[in-house]
Amino acid sequence: MGCFLTNSSLGRKLVMSVSGCFLVLFLLFHMSMNLAALVSADAYNMICGFLGANWYALAGTAVLAAGVLVHFVYAIILTVQNRRARGSVRYAMTVQEKGVDWASKNMLAIGFVVLGGLALHLFNFWSKMQLVEIMGGHTNSLGMSPVDGAALIEYTFSQWYYVALYLVWLAALWFHLTHGVWSMFQTAGWANDTWYPRLKCIANIIATLLFVGFAAVVVVFFIKSLC
């Protein structure tokens, strides 16, 4: 089984699909958690306290980090493999895409932008929240409590440059997901002439839902900072 997942082209695609599905589910959870900040700062901070430096939160963080690492490493392996084999083809197609899908031709480049946005997000939030708790601190570098996530969101998105960077990141994530979610279904063998447009629609809905949900928090808190 291990050889199949590492040495077989189909096995590597399967790893990409499973890790991608896991990351999409996490993004949906994370978006739902962030939307709580729009409703109640206390409710959001309660969630932050629950997901602090507890053993289950730390275990979840480790699993998430492993998922991101596996997804990124296999993306590079598949891209190199397919470029050597067919040049511009990223995934073996069971259904030929209609027209030229820009996202499918630039998944690795978009992935690097997404990874850069993740690094920014870790710097702005994880390093000032869970990491501070792990290190036994009571305040972060901004003088805030590590469980006062609402205040950290308010501060971060009062800075126009962070707002711009996050919106660029979310746009890249949208492009990544519109193709990535469809590819995940395709690898599972669900793509055919009938299901192709349906799966593309599902991918677009999921990507748009995540973009709107995350962007709403960024934009709303920025507008609040101007009032």
**Which of 60, 35, 54, 226 is CA-nearest to residue 149?**
35
Q: What is the DSSP code (8-state) at residue 36?
A: H
Q: Kindly report whether the global pTM for this prediction surpasses the value 0.75.
A: yes
Q: What is the pLDDT along the chain (227 residues), one digit of tens a residue?
A: 545 555 566 777 788 888 888 899 999 999 999 999 999 999 999 998 888 888 888 898 999 999 999 888 888 887 777 777 664 444 444 444 444 467 667 777 888 899 999 999 999 999 999 999 999 899 999 999 999 999 999 999 999 999 999 999 999 999 999 887 877 776 656 666 676 777 888 889 999 999 999 999 999 999 999 98
pLDDT reported for residue 7: 59
**Whether 135 contacts 96, CB under 8 Å:** no
Please name the residues in contact with 32: beta carbons below 8 A apart, sequence gap of 6 or more.
213
Give the Å distances, CA to CA, from 181 to 16, 77, 184, 204.
11, 19, 5, 8
**Whether 91 contacts 186, CB under 8 Å:** yes
**Which of 162, 120, 41, 141 is CA-nearest to residue 131?**
141
What is the C-alpha separation between 44 and 15, in angstroms, rounded?
Answer: 33
The distance of Cα 8 from the centroid of its chain, to the nearest Å, equals: 26
pLDDT reported for residue 193: 67
pLDDT reported for residue 203: 87
- CATH, domain 15-226, list 1.20.1300.10, 1.20.1050.10, 1.10.3720.10, 1.10.1370.30: 1.20.1300.10
Q: What is the DSSP code (8-state) at residue 91?
A: S
Structure tokens at 145: 């409590």
**Which of 90, 106, 89 is CA-nearest to residue 171?**
106
Please name the residues in contact with 6: beta carbons below 8 A apart, sequence gap of 6 or more.
12
Helix 107-124 and helix 160-187, axial crossing angle in degrees, nearest 10: 130
pLDDT reported for residue 53: 80
The distance of Cα 191 from the centroid of its chain, to the nearest Å, equals: 23
Domain ranges of the chain: 15-226
How many residues does this entry show for the chain?
227
pLDDT reported for residue 81: 78
